[in-house]
Amino acid sequence: MNVLKAMISLVIFWIVIADVALAQEKGTYRFALLRQNDSVPRLDNRNGLSWYRSLKHLYVSENNQLTLGGSWRGQAESFVNEEFSTEGRQDNIWFLNRLLFHAHLKLGDRFETFAELGSSLIEGKNNLSPVDKDVLYVNQLFVAYEISSLWTLEVGRRNIRLGSGRLVDIREGPNVRRSFDMAELRYHTKVFEALSFFSVPVRPEPGAFDNGQWTFDETFSGLYTTTHFADDNYLDAYVLYQKEDGAIYQSGTDNERRVSIGARHVGTVKGFTYNNEVVYQMGSFGNQDISAWTLSLQVEAELKVLGKDFDVGIKTEAISGDKNSTDGKMNTFDALYPRGAYFGRVARFGPSNLIDVHPYVNTTFNKLSLEVDYAAFWRYSLEDGVYGAAMTLDYPSLNDQRFIANQMGFIAGYRFNHAIGVELEGNVIFPGPFLRENNMDDTLFHMVLTTEVKF
């Protein structure tokens, strides 16, 4: 309870302080998910600045400036029947705190460096995952140099998100974000962008400045392009290569070399917005040849009901699984580095060996946003198991049942301003025949309350 009281006190403090400060600077700053992309105006000098802007703009000179910022996110999360079972303790509520603090230095129009420290803490949870706790770590630290109007070079540690985040995302849902030590070269015009990169994933550890790095037993590289046909119509095409030693699937553990070739098309036709993606994977897993694929379809329309706008949409995916563990072929699709909350913050099923249908409705009432969704899950292959969000084999194939579960969820969010928000998410999962025959037959309940303050 002391942790909860501290969280409430801190939230109230920042609401009072940040609301006053940001009210004075209304419209000046816009904070992005990746804070290096914040909209922060350049200043000629620091004369006459309010106390907030004086702290924000620590250093200003002609064509140069150093700005500071950060965020705090607190979460209270709880499960009932976490593993689809009433056995064991059910009062499992835990509290997560994530603090990020950054400094962004821009020298002229071509050079910049960005440094971001993080501290992700948790209390009340016994079985910690690598994404729950990291006492003190370097989340991002990179330099960028604009070689010309067309080319930009970046080197260092970064959070990255490609496309819609289906394959590569910053993992915003969990307590510890995903970072890569990488070098990247960007080419960009008004209608075409290309990103080539080589990276090593950073392995989070729970202590201070002890994250694993530069082991090279896992690397990730590729070329990602975007062609813009119009503001609301563009095509992504990419080739990605992942090397991972000791990968684990239903068919066993071995070294993996996987190539992903994909395309994603986003557009609008007669009031309908679509976001469709197809990926084919090849390579090797030990002495097996990889042949895997996924097809993702999403369509959304804005409807007016009783004078209110509602976004109504449906997502559906078919994701391949292994057909036969002895045929010399690996058919399990690997989603690489997706967001941890792929199907909601409950994150019980990951995007491998899966068929899902996911309708949803969302709307906003001034500062209040609401979303209600439903998802149904099936196994694509009866010879393969069901994988978790971190590509772990959480539910091995122990029966011939295809239907996994029904999931219902909601998200209610309220934004006091562009810097302060509160969100409540709830999920209920009803086990299907696959889980029930594995002795996991109790309904799972999940709730998470999130407060975030950016400054």
Using H for helix, E for strand and C for coil, what is the string for 99-150? EEEEEEEEECCCEEEEEEEEEEEEECCCCCCCCCCEEEEEEEEEEEEECCCC
99 CB-near residues (< 8 Å, 6+ apart): 70, 71, 72, 118, 119, 120
Please give the pLDDT value at position 11. 59
Which token pair is 172?
């915003």
124 CB-near residues (< 8 Å, 6+ apart): 3, 92, 93, 94, 95
Give the alpha-carbon dihedral of 40, 163, 172, 213, to 10 degrees: -100
DSSP 8-state code for residue 208: B
- What is the pTM for the complete model shown? 0.90
| Residue with token string 């015009």 | 189
Query: Residue 137: which of 90, 177, 167 has the closest Cα?
Result: 177
How many whole angstroms separate alpha carbon 8 and alpha carbon 168?
A: 34
Q: How many CB atoms lie within 10 A of CB 152?
A: 17
How many whole angstroms separate alpha carbon 116 and alpha carbon 136?
A: 11
| Residue with token string 């491998």 | 352
Which token pair is 186?
């960007």
Please give the pLDDT value at position 41. 87
| Residue with token string 């370097």 | 138
> Strand (E) positions, 382-431?
403-417, 420-431
How many whole angstroms separate alpha carbon 344 and alpha carbon 98?
A: 19
CATH code matching the domain that covers 2-454, chosen among 3.30.565.10, 2.40.160.100, 3.30.70.1520, 3.40.190.10: 2.40.160.100
Query: Residue 129: which of 381, 371, 392, 433 has the closest Cα?
Result: 392
Task: pLDDT tens for the chain, 455 residues: list them.
Answer: 455 555 555 655 665 566 555 555 556 788 999 999 999 888 888 888 887 888 889 889 888 999 999 999 999 999 999 889 888 766 689 999 999 999 999 999 999 999 999 999 999 888 888 899 999 999 999 999 999 999 999 999 999 999 989 999 999 989 999 999 999 999 999 999 999 999 999 999 999 999 876 778 899 999 999 999 998 899 999 999 999 998 878 777 889 999 999 999 999 998 899 999 999 999 999 999 999 999 999 999 998 887 788 999 999 999 999 998 888 899 999 999 988 777 888 888 989 999 999 999 999 988 999 999 999 999 999 999 999 887 788 888 889 999 999 999 999 999 988 888 999 999 999 999 999 998 999 999 999 999 999 98
How many whole angstroms separate alpha carbon 106 and alpha carbon 60?
A: 10
- The separation between CA 150 and the C-alpha centre of its own chain, rounded to angstroms, equals 29
Q: Which amino acid is at 146?
A: E
